[in-house]
Each structure stands twice: as C-alpha cells, then as structure tokens.
Structure 1
Amino acid sequence: MTHLLKIELKKINLKKQIFSLLLMNMIVLLLSIFTSVLLADPANEGAPAAATMLLTTSELSMLIIRAVLIVWQAIFIVQIIIEEYKSKTITVLFTYPFSKRELILAKLGLIFLLTAAFSIFSIMFQSLCLFMLSHNFSLVTFSSESLWSLIIVLISNLFLGFLPLFIGMRNVSIIATIISSLVIVVIGSNSQASPAGLLGVPAVSLFLGTVSVALLSITYRSMLRKEV
C-alpha cells in the first residue's frame, strides 16, 4: 500500500500544493481580520469594535478554512480519480501487479491523508497566528474550541469532503464534482443553526460525516464493479 501511495503522490506537484496552502492560509488570515473589523458595530463605542461581532476572528477564519478545504479536497478527487476515469488512463494502473481494491483504496487514502494534513496545518496556523495577534490588537478576537470538538468536526468534514466523489463518479464528471463541493460549502456555511455555520457544529458535522461515510462505501463498491 505504501508503494501505491508513493505512485499516486507523484501525480501531484506537492511543492506547488504546499506553496498554495501557505498562500491560502495567509489570504484567509488577512480576510478574517479585515472582515471582522469591517463587520464590527461602530455604534458600540464602549467595547472593542470586533467584540460586537457574532463571530470572533478565529471562528471566522475556521469557517473560511473549512469551506476552502472541502473544495480543495474535491480538486484532489478530480486530479487523482475523476480525470483518470474520464481519460481512461486508469486502465494503465489496472495492469500493475496490484488488485483493483488496493488501487482504489490507495487513491482514497491519499486524498484523505493529504486533506487531513492540510487541515491540521491550517487549523494550527490560524489558531497560533490569531492567538498572538489578539494579545496585541484589540480588533482581533480569539476564542478557543475544545479539542474533542475540533477533532469531531475535522474528521467529519474530511468524510463529508468525499461526497463530491459520489456525485462526480455517477457520470464521471469533473464539473459535477467541483459544483457539488461548492454546494456543500454554501449549505455548510449556513448560519441559521450556528454563527460558525453548520459544519462548525459537532453534532451536525458528525451526522453529515456519517451520511458521507455511507455514500463513500456505496461509491467504493461501485468503483470496484465499474468497467472502464
């Protein structure tokens, strides 16, 4: 399996992905700070401007990060799976001395591991930067989440990120994969249930993640039976 993961990893420009990850985090950090200041209530003169927001700066950054990473995971799905099925280049892999089951699991495993690594880095980067900035700038507000809440939301969102695979593989469509990820982001960022969005609520995130695991299982079995 390790050998298969290395083969799949070669298809991705990891240096470019890491650079993009760093750039994305810097943009999200600046956007979170700018938005928290912009949306602050100037009428409340007795408190720091950003303190009047429903969301702290750190909560806002987590909301944006979760949304971006779901779309990023969909892009990984397109690069590692959908494009190969669409162009039928995956038939070359099926000539390797590995079972079809191992090849598909390696692809799914790589997507999961890459997105998990990117997510953990992003959460740590945003939290550390905003924690330090909040001690020096009153307009930057920081609120900590419980470790269990972070872990539950993280794992649930990773599985939720596979939902575009279920949709994209039905017609082997790149467009359907990306659009479905955007729809998930729009729905998951809904602030009716929580200012931090549905994806930030552990119970809701866990439910959506469980549904996604079931759909991923169906997709996996379908990929095993699918003729290229």
Structure 2
Amino acid sequence: MLNLMRLEMKKFHIGSYIKRAIFANFVILAIMFMLLFITKIEGDAVFENYQTVLSLIDSTVRAVFIIFASALNAKLIISEFKYKTITLAFMYPINRKKLMASKLAIIVLFTFSAIIVSNVFVSVVFCTIISNFHLFSDTLTISVIIQRIPIVIMNAIAASCIALIPLYFGMRKYSIPVTIISSIFIVSVVSSNTGNFSLNDIIFIPIALAIIGISVAYASFRKIEKMDI
C-alpha cells in the first residue's frame, strides 16, 4: 500500500501540488489582511479577539483545501477514468481496490496535512504581525492555543473526508468541472458564516458529512474489480 502511494505520488508529481499549497497559504494570508483592513475601515466587529481570528483562519484554510482536494480528485482519479489511462494501471498484477485505496489515501492525507500545516503557518504569521499593532484588547496566550489544537485537528480530519464527496458527482460522467464545482458548493454551504455562526459549528454536520465522504469513496469503487473501463 505504501509503495503504491509512493509510486502514485511520483507519477502525478505531487511535489507540484505542494508548491501550489504553499502559494495558497500566501493567498489566504492576503485574504486575512484584506479582511482586517476592510473591517477596521468600516468598523465591523469581525475580528473581535484572537479566538475569532484563529477560528476564521481555520475556516478559510479548510474551505481552500477542500476545493484544492477536488483538483487532486480530478487529477488522480477522475481524469484517469475520463481519458482511460487507468486501463494501463489495471493491466499490472495489482489489486484494483488497493490501487484506488492508495489514491484516496493520498488525497485524504495530503488534505489533512495541508490543513494542519497551513493553520499553523497562517496563524503564526498573521498573529505575529497584528500583535505588533495592538489591535485587540486581549492577548494570544498558550491556553488559547492549546484550546484550539484539538478543534483544528478534528476539523482537519472531517474536512479531509468531506473532500471525497465531490467524487460522487465527478465519477457519474467522469467530469472534472463537476468535481470542482461540487466542492465549491459544499464549501459554500458548510463554511458560510452568518453572525459568527456556520453549519460547521454544529458538530453533527461535519461528522455526518465526513461519514458521507467515506461512504461515497467506498461506494464509488466497491465494484471496481468487475468494472469495465
């Protein structure tokens, strides 16, 4: 399994996606600074304290990388079926389910790792810079950071599984655009924020969607051994 994952990552040049993920981090930082600038000018209370800041960073990072994961879904899976390049891989004496499982594992692990690393990077850079301007009455303490750690990890796990849901829509007609558009729709529903509240705050919602994501991935490939490409 690990060897299959290594070969798949080499085949699809996963390093290029790591570079894009790094670029996405700087885009997220730019968005955060732009939001801060706009809210300070208009006098909105979007950035009330560090808890709010860290929560908004986490929400933004997850939204970006769920959509990012749809690009991985499209590249590693959808495009292989669309252009029938998967037939070459199926000609080798490799269990089809293990091959598909390795692809899904890469997507889930990449998304999870990207969310965790991005949360740390963006939070450190953003909070370090704004702390010099004393914009908030509170301070970023160790206890605040410790409280956020399990929340970020749980959200990252849920988001990594939710990122598999677009496979259901993409695999129906092997459509890359549908895969990406469906991920944008999912993000817009789950991460939409109204009055500092989003559906993701209801713990049942991300858990249910994560289970759906895993189920979708399993259902899409459970008959892969008998599937004609």
What range describes the TM-score normalised by the shorter chain of this pair?
A: 0.7 to 0.9
- 1:163-178 aligned within 5 A: 163-178=165-180
Shift of 1:50: 6.5
- 1:44-193 aligned within 5 A: 51-52=47-48, 56-139=52-135, 144=145, 145-192=147-194
Shift of 1:40: 3.4
Answering whether residue 8 of structure 2 is matched by residue 4 of structure 1, we say: no
Which stretch of structure 1 is more off in the superposition, 30-39 or 158-167? 30-39
Looking at structure 2, the residues matched to 92 and 114 of structure 1 have their Cα atoms a distance apart, in angstroms, of 25
1:39 counterpart SS class: helix
TM-score by length of 2: 0.85
Answering whether residue 14 of structure 2 is matched by residue 14 of structure 1, we say: yes
Q: Percent identity?
A: 27
The number of residues matched between the two structures is 223
1:59 counterpart SS class: helix
Confirm or deny: 8 A CA contact 2:54 2:123 kept in the other structure: yes
Which stretch of structure 1 is more off in the superposition, 4-13 or 202-211? 202-211
* Structure 1 unaligned regions, length at least 5: none
2:152 aligned partner, one-letter code: L
TM-score by length of 1: 0.85
Shift of 1:134: 3.7
1:147 aligned partner, one-letter code: I
2:20 aligned partner, one-letter code: S
Shift of 1:126: 1.6
The alignment yields a C-alpha RMSD, in angstroms, of: 2.6
2:158 counterpart SS class: helix
1:5-55, Cα deviation, whole Å (9 max, x unpaired): 1221123333322222222111211211220231237558xxxx76558x8
2:167 aligned partner, one-letter code: L
Confirm or deny: 8 A CA contact 1:78 1:174 kept in the other structure: yes
Which stretch of structure 1 is more off in the superposition, 215-224 or 18-27? 215-224
2:17 aligned partner, one-letter code: Q
